[in-house]
Amino acid sequence: MNTKIINLESVDSTNEFLKRENLSPITVVTAKIQTQGKGRRGKRWISHSDKGLYISFLFPVPEKIPNIQIISISTATAVAKVLNEFKSEFLIKWPNDILIKGKKICGILPELTKEKLIIGIGINLYHSEKELQGTETPATSLAIEKIEVPREKITNFIIEAVKNSFFKTANGKFDLSDYEKIALIKQNTHVEIKEETGTVSGIALGIDREGFLIVEINGKIKRVFSGDVSVRV
């Protein structure tokens, strides 16, 4: 399948751009600046000019995937593996945040409509500490971590890695052990799950093939879907 790459100077959000434009998969869009960068759960994504990689992929909607959670976990795994080529300290916080030394450096926003599967990825490349102030979870950038990577190099690596991981996962071939090797929440990690009704503590047992986090809470096994909760390690 051919890949079309669109590099924009400025856009509201690369995800929104792919949603409203009539483009066919695979299309990849990047922007130097997003004026309304979106995070998960209605949050904003800091998108200063030339500071981050703001990139979204339009993929064909796979027939067999039960939910997009596993695609977003496999995408996080692919992106973390690219980052680990530069410094092998990046971990995935379930379901799809990438952290270094406990600080968030990358977020992923998958969006599924009837006709479109869009995966948006934001990586903090060159932000200063000041520019990342005010985020809900402590954030960092490659520059703050003293990891020097040219934008073009990382962009090309990410495009290749994310495409490969998408097709592997869409064909049911995502290897969960790839995720487990770099997961922050491992078997027996103590987690706190913030639900609408309050916070509960439990012990993580791992994730299942659909990307649910399996947690033992007071002797009972619960499958946790990221849409419902936030997890603190």
In the bound state with ligand BTN, the residue whose beta carbon lies nearer, of 209 and 232, is 232
109-128 residues in contact with ligand BTN (CB under 6 A) are 109, 120-122
Rounded to a whole number of angstroms, the minimum distance from the CB of residue 118 to ligand BTN is: 9
The yes or no reply on residue 69 touching ligand BTN (CB under 6 A) is no
CB 64 within 8 A of CB 44: no
The strand pairing partners of 58, in sequence order, are 27, 118
The yes or no reply on residue 57 touching ligand BTN (CB under 6 A) is no
The yes or no reply on residue 27 touching ligand BTN (CB under 6 A) is no
Q: Which two tokens stand for residue 51?
A: 């500071």
Residue 54 amino acid letter: Y
Q: What is the C-alpha to C-alpha distance for residues 154 and 143, in angstroms, rounded to an integer? A: 13
Window contacting ligand BTN (CB under 6 A); options: 52-60, 125-133, 199-207, 210-218:
52-60
Rounded to a whole number of angstroms, the minimum distance from the CB of residue 203 to ligand BTN is: 25
- The two beta strands, 27-34 and 4-11, are parallel
119: nearest Cα among 32, 180, 38, 33: 38
In the bound state with ligand BTN, the residue whose beta carbon lies nearer, of 205 and 231, is 231
Rounded to a whole number of angstroms, the minimum distance from the CB of residue 210 to ligand BTN is: 20
The yes or no reply on residue 43 touching ligand BTN (CB under 6 A) is yes
Q: How many residues does the chain have?
A: 233
Rounded to a whole number of angstroms, the minimum distance from the CB of residue 110 to ligand BTN is: 9
Rounded to a whole number of angstroms, the minimum distance from the CB of residue 64 to ligand BTN is: 25
Q: What is the C-alpha to C-alpha distance for residues 135 and 152, in angstroms, rounded to an integer? A: 26
47: nearest Cα among 10, 21, 20, 72: 10
In the bound state with ligand BTN, the residue whose beta carbon lies nearer, of 25 and 122, is 122
Rounded to a whole number of angstroms, the minimum distance from the CB of residue 52 to ligand BTN is: 7
Among 15, 75, 77, 155, binds ligand BTN (CB under 6 A): 15
Coil, strand or helix: which one is 3? coil
Cα–chain center distance at 201: 25
DSSP character string of 133-195: TT-SS-B--TTTTT----HHHHHHHHHHHHHHHHHHHHTT---HHHHHHTBSS-TT-EEEEEE
Among 6, 19, 32, 39, binds ligand BTN (CB under 6 A): 39
What phi and psi values does residue 86 have, to the nearest 5 degrees?
A: -90, -35
Among 25, 26, 28, 38, binds ligand BTN (CB under 6 A): 38
Among 108, 170, 182, 204, binds ligand BTN (CB under 6 A): 108
User: Which stretches of the chain bind ligand BTN, using CB under 6 A?
Assistant: 13-15, 34, 37-40, 43, 45, 54-56, 97, 107-109, 120-122
